[in-house]
Amino acid sequence: MIEHELQQLTKELSRTFFHRDFTHQISYNKRLRSSGGRYLLKSGNIEINPLVEQELGLEALIGVIKHELCHYHLHQTGRGYRHQDQDFKQLLHQVGGSRFVDRMSEPNFIYECSACHHRYPRMRKMNTKRYVCGKCHGKLILLD
C-alpha cells in the first residue's frame, strides 16, 4: 500500500470508528523495529512500521492504525492518551484496536542459562558479563 492509500484508509477508519476527522499525516517509517507504529505528540502525525502490512497483513495494519488513532484522538481532546490510562484502554477496546503486534521477525540471538537451561530470544546482542539468568542467576551463554 502506498502512502496516499494509507492516508485515505486512516481517514476512513477515523471517521467510521471515532466519528472524528484525522487532519494530520500518516507515513511509513522503516526505522521502527520493535513496534507497529507510533503517535508523535509534538506534530500529531503517525508513523507505521511497513513490515506490519508486509508480514502480518492488512488486518494487522488496521489494528495498529486504530491503536495509534486512539492515542491521536485522546491527545487531541485532552484526555488520557497513554497506555496505562483508563480512557485509552476503554477506547481501544471499544474500537477493536490491537494492544500488541505479533513479532514481525525472528530473534537474531538466543541466549541460554548454563544452570537451568532457560532460553532468552533477543533481537539485539547483549553483554553476558553484565546480565545473568532471571530465574536462577546462572551464567548466560550465546547459542549459535
Task: Say whether both 80 and 120 belong to one domain.
Answer: no
Whole domain around residue 53: which residue ranges? 3-95
Helix (H, G, I), strand (E, B) or coil at 38: strand
In a domain, 22, yes or no: yes
pLDDT of residue 106: 72
Report which secondary-structure segment, H or E, holds 109.
strand 109-113
Name the residues annotated as catalytic: 68
- The reply to whether 104 falls in a domain is no
Question: Do 33 and 91 belong to one domain?
Answer: yes
Overall domain count for the chain: 2
Within this chain, do residues 80 and 113 fall inside the same structural domain, yes or no?
no
Q: How high is the pLDDT of residue 139?
A: 97
Residues near 55 by Cβ (< 8 Å), separated by ≥ 6? Answer: 104, 105
pLDDT tens across 11-48, in order? 999 999 999 999 999 999 999 887 899 999 999 999 99
Its pTM stands at 0.75
Residue 51 belongs to a domain with what CATH number?
3.30.2010.10
* DSSP 8-state code for residue 59: H
**Tens-digit pLDDT profile for residues 115-130:** 999 999 988 899 999 9
Which pLDDT belongs to residue 71? 97
> Does residue 103 fall inside a structural domain?
no
pLDDT digits 0-9 by tens, 50-92 = 999 998 999 999 999 999 999 999 999 999 999 999 999 999 9
Cα radius of gyration rounded to whole Å, the chain:
19
User: Does a structural domain hold residue 91?
Assistant: yes
Q: Phi first, then psi: what are they for 69, rounded to 5°? A: -65, -30
